[in-house]
């Protein structure tokens, strides 16, 4: 079994990461609102046209990947600062070819 090396972390580094974490928690709340609005709009569009908006699907997929990266950072599972301090993340999983409603 591998043992995790314990190191003493500098308080200044912890405080700086905490400030970034507070910032990204606010960003995450904004992302949640964006996801909620896109879901509502997508379903309104779906009811009216009986097909989904492909540009909105691609946008919401990118937003979900970004939200995932933000969550990994604030939960100390990733060390790279998310966008806008680094590049916007690339899609990890493309959307399904077609959504099913059964």
Report phi then psi at 60, rounded to 5: -65, -30
The answer to whether the CB of 17 falls within 8 A of the CB of 9 is no
pLDDT in tens, 37-73: 999 999 999 999 988 888 998 899 899 999 999 999 9
Q: Which two tokens stand for residue 102?
A: 């059964």
Confidence of residue 11 (pLDDT cuts 50, 70, 90): confident
Whether residue 1 is predicted with pLDDT greater than 70 in this model: the reply is no
Q: Give the span between the Cα atoms of 44 and 84, in whole angstroms.
A: 31
DSSP H stretches of helix in the chain: 11-49, 54-74
pLDDT in tens, 77-95: 998 888 777 777 777 777 7
């Amino acid at each position: 079994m591998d043992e995790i090396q314990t190191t003493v972390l500098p308080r200044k580094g912890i405080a700086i990461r905490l400030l970034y974490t507070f910032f990204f928690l606010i960003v995450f709340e904004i992302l949640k609102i964006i996801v909620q609005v896109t879901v509502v709009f997508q379903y309104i569009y779906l009811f009216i046209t009986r097909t989904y908006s492909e540009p909105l699907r691609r946008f919401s997929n990118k937003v979900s990947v970004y939200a995932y990266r933000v969550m990994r950072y604030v939960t100390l599972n990733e060390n790279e600062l998310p966008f806008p301090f680094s590049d916007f993340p690339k899609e990890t999983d493309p959307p399904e070819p077609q959504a099913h409603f059964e």
